Amino acid sequence: MAQFSMEIMRLTGSVLRGNQHADRLPLPIALRYLFVAGAVLIGALGGRRREEVGSLLEGPLFKQFGQTYLTIYIEKTIQDVDAIPVPEIVEKAVEMLERLSAVARAATSTKWLFQFKSDFKDGQTLSVDTRFANHLADFATHCRLAPPDGDAAWKLNFHMLRKGFVTSAYHGNLTGNFDAINWFLRHRTGDMTRIYMDDGRTGAISYLRSEVARLTRQQLKNLSPEEEKYLADAKRALQDNANRTKLWDAGRQEFFVWSFMEVYDGAQQPIGAGAGRMLDMLTEMEQRAHARTRIEAVPTNGPSDVRQDVLRQVKVAAATHFLEPVPGVPMYCLFKKGRDDHTHLAECLKCRRAASLPWREAASGLIETKESGLGFLFGMRCATIPHAYRDHI
């Protein structure tokens, strides 16, 4: 964690010190970068989301038993203010934001830290864009940080800082603990944290793959003993990750098949708005199975052959359909990634949109996504849509 903190310090250093580079910045841009620097420190070292950082209020810090805590709104899960332990350097970032926003807070009678106001004697107002998430790439370029190998420019979003925190705290820390990180992120279930750990898009895994490719291209005779060991360990780690992913996916598909066949055999009776959709799928599969049985016209064909055909169809469907548990209730979500009709019906995505701007009136419309909102899955709301069902034995 100390190394990660040093990297963030280096990222923000040129703005906080002011005179590192010979080129001088216009005042509005320099002030904008100060807001970005403060947000980066809080987001990366506190593992907080963009809207959570943006909703910070005046006086959010307190100490207890020598530990600094940041009082901040937690969206998606608890949807309330909570105290998060943070490094002491976050105190400096908050103090800077309080100084920058002091005039604006007094003028608007609000407590938001990400706002700025400065009036000149001639009546003109200095305009500063405090939307920090829009300027991460420009800020990194100003700090003269080279983009990743193969990229001509930075491609950044604020949530990468949260992923960076998890990667550093878990993979880069000998005492990293999954449960502790899950609680720190204020996630409701382990699944919400797991996507930070083994998602193929996570930076640590992508970096590992790029390192394997780079070292493999080199002649083996030019590798040092340390590089040879690193290459072997990295390949083994990637293979282990691939094997775990296959095992998890196989288990997921197995559960999907088991659940559908239990309903088909009459051992379980699904209830909920999604039950009709599930039964329709099974009815269509059974009709196709009967049709194939009639076409084959084998004298020995019977109910067991129809069941075997239905089982085969269910196994095919399991590869592309999902049956994920809804936290807190014996219910399952049939949301399918990439389906616009599913996206517009999903109650969890409606809740995600409503909570995306917690300090303003919720914007209308639905959020565009390819995945269900794990942080907003809730039994009572989920039961009203045709993508959820529960077992009733």
Average confidence (pLDDT) over 332-361: 66
**CB neighbours of residue 328 within 10 Å:** 12
Q: Is it the case that residue 389 has pLDDT exceeding 60?
A: no
Distance separating alpha carbons of residues 55 and 82, to the nearest angstrom? 13
Q: Is it the case that residue 374 has pLDDT exceeding 90?
A: no
Distance separating alpha carbons of residues 203 and 207, to the nearest angstrom? 6
Distance separating alpha carbons of residues 258 and 266, to the nearest angstrom? 12
Q: Is it the case that residue 37 has pLDDT exceeding 90?
A: yes
Which has more pLDDT, 333 or 370? 333
What values do phi and psi take at 338, rounded to 5?
85, -5
For residue 62, the cross-strand partners are 69
Which has more pLDDT, 377 or 122? 122
Q: Would you give the distance in Å from CA 192 to the centre of its chain?
A: 8
Which has more pLDDT, 101 or 12? 101
The answer to which of 177-191, 295-309, 363-377 has the lowest mean pLDDT is 363-377
Q: Is it the case that residue 168 has pLDDT exceeding 70?
A: yes
The answer to which of 79-83, 127-131, 156-160, 270-274 has the lowest mean pLDDT is 270-274
Which has more pLDDT, 178 or 63? 63
For residue 69, the cross-strand partners are 62, 85
Distance separating alpha carbons of residues 215 and 211, to the nearest angstrom? 6
Tokens standing for 81?
């203010």
Average confidence (pLDDT) over 281-285: 87
For residue 74, the cross-strand partners are 80
Q: Would you give the distance in Å from CA 179 to the centre of its chain?
A: 17
Alpha-carbon distances, residue 94 vs 29, 34, 47, 84 (angstroms): 19, 11, 15, 14
Q: What residue ranges do the domains of the chain occupy?
A: 2-161, 259-389
HSE on the CB side for 84, CA within 13 Å? 30
Tokens standing for 94?
């908050």
Q: Is 304 exposed, middle or buried (0-12, 13-18, 19+ CB in 10 A)?
A: exposed
Q: Is 30 exposed, middle or buried (0-12, 13-18, 19+ CB in 10 A)?
A: middle
Q: 119-140 burial by CB neighbour count: b if 16+ within 10 A, else e?
A: eeeeeeeeebebebbebbeebb
The pLDDT mean for the chain works out to 76
The answer to which of 56-70, 248-262, 336-350 has the lowest mean pLDDT is 336-350
**Percent of residues, the chain, with pLDDT higher than 70:** 63
Which ranges of the chain does DSSP label H, i.e. alpha helix?
Answer: 2-17, 27-46, 50-54, 89-108, 136-142, 159-166, 178-184, 190-198, 203-217, 225-264, 274-296, 303-318, 340-345, 347-354, 379-382
Interhelix angle 27-46/2-17, nearest 10 degrees: 170
**298-339 pLDDT per residue, tens:** 555 667 788 888 888 888 887 777 666 666 556 677 766 666
Confidence of residue 208 (pLDDT cuts 50, 70, 90): low
**63-93 pLDDT per residue, tens:** 999 999 999 999 988 889 999 999 999 999 9
Tokens standing for 42?
């809080």
pLDDT the model gives residue 365: 44
- Are 88 and 9 in contact, with CB atoms under 8 Å apart? no
Distance separating alpha carbons of residues 301 and 299, to the nearest angstrom? 6
Distance separating alpha carbons of residues 41 and 16, to the nearest angstrom? 12
pLDDT the model gives residue 297: 62
Tokens standing for 41?
């420190």
pLDDT the model gives residue 72: 96
pLDDT the model gives residue 2: 39
- Per DSSP, the three-state class of 132 is helix
- Are 166 and 37 in contact, with CB atoms under 8 Å apart? no
> What fold does the segment set 2-161 form as a domain?
hpI Integrase; Chain A (1.10.443)
Distance separating alpha carbons of residues 122 and 142, to the nearest angstrom? 31
Tell me the torsion sign for CA atoms 250, 256, 258, 264.
negative
What values do phi and psi take at 378, rounded to 5?
-150, 130
Q: Is it the case that residue 113 has pLDDT exceeding 50?
A: yes
Q: Is it the case that residue 140 has pLDDT exceeding 70?
A: yes
Q: Which of 269-283, 340-354, 370-384 has the highest mean pLDDT?
A: 269-283
pLDDT the model gives residue 300: 55
